[in-house]
């Protein structure tokens, strides 16, 4: 079996010792590998469930997913480029202190954040629209940043630390 490798760089086309080392290492991994550093991050399809940190690491750099469910004790930093969830975003029974997705602008379905006993904040500052927002059973949830987002419906329940003015402001974002 012949293995091929092509490195594409927008900065420099010369071969360096590090390029040769990388080429050798990648060639040992299998057939044709193409590296395109100028391309945007990948779109990652399918219904994604995050339970352990390795699950999150597998999505690093993704800009779009079909649906996303967060259940475990995970750090969401590697999802910093995520801009779109075409289906639902569900955070249920997760052991996270903050749901922070700074570039998430669109959720095609519902955002469901429920039964997360340690969740203190939701930070989705770029969010523009979601079909539904449901926040329930998040005893410590006290801060929410959803930018200028609008929602088809808003359902709130049993979020003991959520200030009444914040709850009212969220309800006002649905018709």
Mean per-residue pLDDT of the chain: 81
- The pLDDT score that the predictor gives to residue 45 is 75
Nearest to 89 by CA among 42, 143, 49: 49
Q: Rounded to 5 degrees, what angle do the CA atoms 56, 99, 128 make?
A: 105
Q: Which H or E run includes 171?
A: helix 164-171
Q: What is the pTM of this model?
A: 0.75
Q: What is the pLDDT of residue 21?
A: 36
Residue 138, classed as helix, strand or coil, is coil
Residue 131 clears pLDDT 60, i.e. is over it:
yes
Domain range summary for the chain, segments of one domain joined by +? 1-39, 41-171
pLDDT for the residue 19: 39
User: How do residues 101-114 score in pLDDT, each as one tens digit?
Assistant: 999 999 999 999 99
- What class is the 41-171 domain? alpha beta
Dist. CA 87–CA 28, nearest whole Å: 38
Higher per-residue confidence, 32 vs 168: 168
């Amino acid at each position: 079996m012949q293995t091929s490798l092509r490195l594409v760089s927008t900065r420099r086309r010369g071969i360096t010792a590090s390029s040769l080392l990388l080429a050798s290492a990648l060639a040992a991994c299998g057939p044709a590998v193409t590296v395109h550093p100028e391309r945007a991050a990948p779109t990652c399809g399918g219904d994604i469930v995050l339970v352990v940190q390795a699950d999150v690491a597998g999505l690093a750099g993704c800009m779009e997913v079909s649906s996303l469910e967060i259940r475990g004790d995970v750090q969401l930093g590697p999802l910093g480029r995520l801009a779109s969830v075409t289906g639902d975003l569900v955070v249920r029974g997760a052991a996270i202190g903050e749901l922070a997705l700074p570039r998430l602008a669109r959720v095609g379905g519902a955002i469901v954040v429920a039964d997360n006993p340690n969740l203190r904040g939701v930070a989705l500052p770029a969010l523009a629209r979601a079909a539904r927002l449901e926040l329930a059973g998040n005893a410590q949830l006290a801060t929410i940043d959803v930018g200028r987002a609008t929602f088809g419906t808003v359902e709130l329940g049993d979020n003991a630390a959520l200030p009444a003015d914040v709850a009212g402001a969220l309800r006002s974002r649905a018709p």
